[in-house]
Structure formats: C-alpha cells, structure tokens
Structure 1
Amino acid sequence: MIGDAIICCKQDLPDEEHIKKQAEYFKALSDPARVKIVYALAGGERCVCELMAIMDMQQTVVSHHLKVLKYAGIISDKKSGKWVYYSLVDKKTVELLSILKAEK
C-alpha cells in the first residue's frame, strides 16, 4: 500500500531539470530588492537609470540584481544605442507575487 503511494507520487514529480529551474526562479525572487524590481517592471520596460532612482541604489547594485533576474529567465533586456532597457519576460511573476500578497 505505501509502496504504491510512493510510486504514484514519484511518477507525478516533474523531471529534475524542471525542478532545478523552478528552484532558480524562486531563488532569484528571494531578495526584496529583486521583488521590488519586478514590481517596477510590471508597468513596462525601464532603463537602469530609472531603476536606480526607483530603488534608490547605486548602478552596480541594481545591475547585479538585474543579472540574477535575467539568469532566472524572469526579465529580458534589449539594447538601444547606449541604453539597455529591461522588461518582464511575462506577467506570471507579477501574478505569483499578487497571489502571495493576497495570502496575508
């Protein structure tokens, strides 16, 4: 009986690669500054200078957080001349944060 339950549970688990990607996603969101960046990008794309003003942080710190979010696939960037603009890959992250906010 227990063996059958374990087999069923193991069959329902996503593959290891998917689990690792999900862990990286949540790891990227584990810092309050990165969550704030996600909220800042919810209204549309922004350049680093705008994010620096919103976050009240130095460029190097903001850039580090952007790098983590980009690596996790949460944001993307596009270069336009000498400016780099960042935007959310999709709205699922904002939706997830909204769900968590509603769970208070």
Structure 2
Amino acid sequence: MTNDEFACDCDVIHADVVNLVKKHMPDDEEFTDLSAFFKILGDYTRTKILWALDKNEMCVCDLASLLNMTKSAVSHQLRLLRIANLVKSRRDGKVIFYSLADDHVKAIFETGHEHIREM
C-alpha cells in the first residue's frame, strides 16, 4: 500500500460528523491522562508483569523469580503500576500479594493480547 491509498482526495468537510465528534471530545487533561495510561502499558517489563498478574496474584519474590529480575527492579515496576491504578496489593502476614486492579484492567490487557494474536 502506498501513502496515496490512505489520503483523502476530497475537499468537503462533513460538518455534521465533525460537530458530532467534537461534542463528545474529552478535554486536553483527559487526553493527557489517557496517553500516560498507554505509556505505562507500553513498557516491555510492565507488560510481562501484567501478563503474570492476569493469570494469578503474586508476590514480588514470585514475580522476580518468574521474570529473572531482582526484587528491587520488580518493586520499582509494581510501584509505577500501582500509581497508575493498574495493580493493587493485599497483605497476608509479612507477604504482599499483587493482582490486577480491577476487571477494566483485566479486560484491557486481555483484549490487547487477543488483538495482537489475531495478526
């Protein structure tokens, strides 16, 4: 495919469509937040952590062993995922277990994974 195949060759503005979409456009702050959300998901290591947590809750030691990483490196990534509200934690005695934050995160992650497997 060439770039010309993606170029629109019309000079007409479809004002009804533009106005409809414009009416539903979020403000710039929401776009900034959404962009930051996808940047957090866009990291290879965090993606592997999310994949693991999609299968089962795990502690830092388990994740470090699975991913062949240091506990410190895993903790750093989990902190970023927690700040972004993508993972949550629960304490069981001295051990802290991590899991996906909610069903939205699970659905986003699984839908993305399903999408790339279709290619």
Question: Which band: TM-score by shorter chain?
Answer: 0.7 to 0.9
Aligned residue identity for 1:10: K
Alignment of 1:1-104 (within 5 A): 2=13, 4=15, 5-89=17-101, 90=103, 91-104=106-119
Over aligned residues, Cα RMSD in angstroms?
Answer: 2.0
SS at match of 2:88: strand
Structure 2 Cα separation of the partners of residues 103 and 12 of structure 1: 30
| Structure 1 contact 25–73 (Cα < 8 Å) conserved | no
Structure 1: tracts of 5 or more residues without a match: none
Instruction: List per-residue Cα deviations over 1:80-101 (Å, max 9, x = no partner).
Output: 2211110012212332322332
Larger RCO: Structure 1 or Structure 2 (Cα < 8 Å, ≥ 6 residues apart)? Answer: 1
Q: TM-score, normalised by structure 1?
A: 0.83
**Percent identity between the aligned chains?**
34
Q: TM-score, normalised by structure 2?
A: 0.74
